[in-house]
Chains A and B, each alone.
Chain A
């Protein structure tokens, strides 16, 4: 095996290892399992095409999350991957095994998460679920650390209010008001990129 072949094999192995995390991040961003897996497939295609630019020894997780995020934002602008609540996923959570803690609460949380603005949802997913540091999350989102902290804080406050008050609303792309708000937030977010 040549050095190049070994390098490609290493890259492929690392890429396979990060797919579950990519799926979880994508599912959190767009809320629909089928769209999320499409998003991951596009991410893998782009990552493979750009594999020469990946520096071995650095975090492939962070590197691929950046790619996935960019694919997601591009798709969002084309009205793909929009944060529409996944009824199938919710049903699966609701019918989860009995030992799972508070499945209804999880379904509410999932729904509440999908009502957040994309930039806040992303920040919360990276920090609160993905376990990235603020610095890593800021690098992935292409913004300042303070911005990530602010987004996480606002997302947490918004989620806490919705859950505490029991006011988790649907935010569907079929709702023109909600959709306009999503697109306005997205445009603001992408203008800053």
Chain B
């Protein structure tokens, strides 16, 4: 029976999944991907930043802006 402990390096695979070709390498690659994702994945505050922006976008438009453009339009 193959008992190389590195067979279990990939915590995400089932115990009966068998021997991976290069499990240690695969595990390192997975860890690397996780690390990369941790850098590029949007943090919670990124969503909140968008929320702050969208809250203003969704506010009712003050009449002064339309009045200004109507005045400019009328003036030619």
> Taking chain A's interface residues, is the majority helix, strand, or loop, or is none over half, making it mixed?
helix
Instruction: Return the contact of B65 from the options A27, A41, A106, A163 (Cβ within 8 A).
Output: A41
A160 and B39 CA atoms in complex are apart in Å by: 11
Nearest residue, chain A, Cβ from B50: A129
Instruction: Return the contact of B69 from the options A12, A129, A160 (Cβ within 8 A).
Output: A12
Quick check: B57 and A23 within 8 Å, CB to CB?
A: yes
Considering the complex, which residues of chain A in the window 94-108 have a beta carbon less than 8 Å from any beta carbon of chain B? 101-102, 105-106
Quick check: A163 and B45 within 8 Å, CB to CB?
A: yes
Using Cβ atoms and an 8 Å threshold, which residues of chain A touch B68? 41, 44-45
Using known A-B contacts A109-B45, A113-B49, A124-B49, determine if residue A15 contacts B69 with beta carbons closer than 8 Å. Answer: yes
B19 in contact (CB, < 8 A): no
Least CB distance from B46 to A in Å reads 6
A8 in contact (CB, < 8 A): yes
Q: Mark A5-41, 1 if CB is under 8 A from B, else 0.
A: 0001000100110011101110110000000010011
Using Cβ atoms and an 8 Å threshold, which residues of chain A touch B56? 20, 23-24, 27-28
Interface residues on B, range: 20 to 34
Least CB distance from B10 to A in Å reads 30
A105 and B51 CA atoms in complex are apart in Å by: 11
B73 in contact (CB, < 8 A): yes
Q: Mark B40-55, 1 if CB is under 8 A from A, else 0.
A: 0001111011111110
Quick check: B45 and A160 within 8 Å, CB to CB?
A: yes
Q: How many A-B residue pairs have CB under 8 A?
A: 76
| A-to-B contact residues, CB < 8 Å | 8, 12, 15-16, 19-21, 23-25, 27-28, 37, 40-41, 44-45, 48, 101-102, 105-106, 109-110, 113, 124-125, 128-130, 156, 159-160, 163
| B-to-A contact residues, CB < 8 Å | 43-46, 48-54, 56-59, 61-62, 64-66, 68-69, 72-73
Please give me the 6 A-B residue pairs with the lowest Cβ-Cβ distance, nearest first: A129-B53, A24-B56, A20-B57, A24-B53, A48-B72, A24-B57
A-B contact pairs, 26 of them (CB 8 A): A16-B65, A20-B59, A20-B61, A24-B54, A24-B56, A27-B56, A40-B65, A41-B64, A41-B65, A44-B65, A44-B68, A44-B69, A44-B72, A45-B72, A48-B72, A101-B48, A106-B51, A109-B48, A109-B49, A125-B53, A128-B46, A128-B50, A156-B46, A160-B43, A160-B45, A163-B45
Known: A12-B69, A37-B64, A129-B52. 18 other contacts (CB 8 A): A15-B69, A19-B61, A20-B59, A20-B61, A24-B54, A24-B56, A28-B56, A40-B65, A41-B64, A44-B65, A48-B72, A102-B48, A106-B48, A109-B45, A109-B49, A125-B53, A129-B49, A159-B45
